Amino acid sequence: MDQLHQLTITQAYSLLRSKEITSRELTRSVLDRIARINSKVNAFITICEDSAMARAAMADERIQSGNGGPLTGIPISVKDVLCTRGIRTTCASKILEDFVPPYDAAVVEKLNNAGTVMVGKVNMDEFAMGSSNENSGFMITKNPWDVSRIPGGSSGGSAVSVSADMCLGSIGSDTGGSIRQPASHCSVAGLKPTYGRVSRYGLVAFASSLDQIGPIGKCVSDCAILMNALAGYDPKDSTSVNIPVPDYSDLPENGLKGVKIGIPKEYEAAEGLAPDVSAAVDRAVVTLEKLGAEKVSVSLPHTRYAVAAYYVIAPSEASSNLARYDGVKYGFRDPAAENLIGMYKQTRSNGFGKEVKRRIIIGTYCLSAGYYDAYYGKASQVRTMIMEDFKRAFTHCDAILSPVAPEPPFRIGEKTDDPLTMYLSDIFTLSANLAGIPGISIPCGFSGDGLPIGLQIMGKHFDEHGILKIASEFERATDFNTKKPDI
């Protein structure tokens, strides 16, 4: 029973339903695993041992009475950007170090209703701003495949907790690749849903028109099961879309005959694309063709402007959203301040980290009088052009394939002094957020150094089921998702 933490959600559900194991045994195995290795990888900010065991006992009663579902009794982790009632929510920032929300985020409430067992809140880049998990106000999360390397960000703690078997699934958020990129770097599956498919109520905002919550799992079917719980209309979220939700876990094994996969010519010549990554993605395309898919060439001509547009829009929205952290209402307040203006300045200077302050300054500048039209307005126009590019491309194909990241996970500290190079880590993922379309990252190979490489599959608006189907067929034809880090 001490290896139960290695199970997938799908496997655990089968064993729980047949009463071969209990949720308490499963949760105990996960908590023991966290106790053994969290100091090596720094995945968790807050570990909820007592409440987890209590919820596991409740889940066992629910299963015993015949009322359990696919997620009942399943231990999960939650990114520390989602509000959890009675459990601190820090956003990995000193300014919210002791903040305890009085309510649950909509997705947390849904997961609680499904009977999941939250074992803890996981580390991230501060306020979800970063691509490497080096911007946390508390610690640097490390990649379990090589602890000298970054796990990706900002949902690095989520990806590491799943990859290292410290939970069976996790919930992250994705503003510019923050689910897909760490999923790629940690060799797990990570899905960014269509903007509006999952409620953002209770998600601490970074960039409100880009943020989206999604699942990270050990396999595609686990992501599908989590999506069944997460998706749906929420009247508390004005951006939530009221359309029917399919059964994402309905993924028949009937191949990909008739499916057209688009290969953007702009991605093939992208700046900084490592040979190992390019080769792994090329092999993945061949595998999909063997499964019956047809490869077609498509064009996304405004891709070259995606990084620039994103790093105007996202900081601008962040500067507005983060104005509420002023030391007055909640969170950290610098006690040494002698007057109101001094309190504002010192609270924000000492409470925010370097990257958050950098983006607030950029965003405030872009929104300032005389510059709004030249920067934010122009970036919004480019965003519309990127959306139109995808619409045209999807008239020729059912899904678009690309790398997730231009290179395998790099060493901790390698790019911290060069923000512009760091920002290029998101070159393949940003466009999906700007366009609002869904995208999934799945393992597709390893570099010569044994580091994970991910394949990104992007779909039409609200076609999560379509890209999950392609991803599941690829996963069944390969064994990349079965390989585990030696930690």
**Amino acid 329: pLDDT:** 86
- Phi and psi torsions of 178, nearest 5°: -75, -10
Tokens describing residue 223: 């992501």
**Amino acid 418: pLDDT:** 86
CB 215 within 8 A of CB 169: yes
Q: Verify whether residue 319 is a known catalytic residue.
A: no
Domain 4-257 CATH (choose: 3.40.50.720, 3.90.1300.10, 1.10.8.60, 3.50.50.60) = 3.90.1300.10
Q: Are strands 294-298 and 260-264 parallel, antiparallel or unpaired?
A: parallel
**Amino acid 151: pLDDT:** 98
The C-alpha atoms of residue 320 and residue 364 are separated, in whole angstroms, by 8
Measured in residues, the chain has a length of 487
Who contacts 441 (Cβ-Cβ below 8 Å, separation ≥6)? 179, 180, 181, 183, 184, 189, 190, 191, 404, 454, 455, 456
Instruction: Write out the chain's pLDDT in tens, 487 residues.
Output: 579 999 999 999 999 999 999 999 999 999 999 999 999 999 999 999 999 999 999 999 999 999 999 999 999 999 999 999 999 999 999 999 999 999 999 999 999 999 999 999 999 999 999 999 999 999 999 999 999 999 999 999 999 999 999 999 999 999 999 999 999 999 999 999 999 999 999 999 999 999 999 999 999 999 999 999 999 999 999 999 999 999 999 999 999 999 999 999 998 777 789 999 999 999 999 999 999 999 999 999 999 999 999 999 999 999 999 999 999 988 999 998 889 999 999 999 999 999 999 999 999 999 998 889 999 999 999 999 999 999 999 999 999 999 999 999 999 999 988 887 888 889 999 999 999 999 999 999 999 999 999 999 999 999 999 999 999 999 999 999 999 999 9
Amino acid at 58: M
Tokens describing residue 460: 């039409």
Number of helices (H) and strands (E) in the chain: give both, helices first. 16, 11
| Pick from 175, 126, 134, 119: nearest CA to 332 | 126
**Amino acid 1: pLDDT:** 59
CB 136 within 8 A of CB 143: no
Q: Verify whether residue 79 is a known catalytic residue.
A: yes
The C-alpha atoms of residue 193 and residue 204 are separated, in whole angstroms, by 18
The C-alpha atoms of residue 106 and residue 109 are separated, in whole angstroms, by 5
Please report, to the nearest 10 degrees, the dihedral formed by the alpha carbons of residues 65, 71, 76, 81 taken in order: -120
**Amino acid 271: pLDDT:** 75
Please report, to the nearest 10 degrees, the dihedral formed by the alpha carbons of residues 115, 63, 55, 200 taken in order: 0
User: Is residue 417 classed as helix, strand or coil in its secondary structure?
Assistant: coil
- Cα 426–Cα 427–Cα 429 angle in degrees, nearest 5: 65
The C-alpha atoms of residue 44 and residue 92 are separated, in whole angstroms, by 10
Which one is catalytic: 23, 79, 402, 469?
79
The C-alpha atoms of residue 264 and residue 285 are separated, in whole angstroms, by 12
Which one is catalytic: 29, 93, 154, 221?
154
User: Is residue 176 classed as helix, strand or coil in its secondary structure?
Assistant: coil
CB 220 within 8 A of CB 443: no
Burial class (CB in 10 A: 0-12, 13-18, 19+), 98: exposed
Who contacts 289 (Cβ-Cβ below 8 Å, separation ≥6)? 295
The domains of the chain are located at 4-257
Positive/negative CA dihedral, 108, 162, 239, 83: positive
**Amino acid 420: pLDDT:** 79
Q: Verify whether residue 121 is a known catalytic residue.
A: no
Beta bridge partners of 446: 452
**Amino acid 272: pLDDT:** 84
Which one is catalytic: 178, 199, 319, 431?
178
- Is the overall model pTM greater than 0.75, yes or no? yes
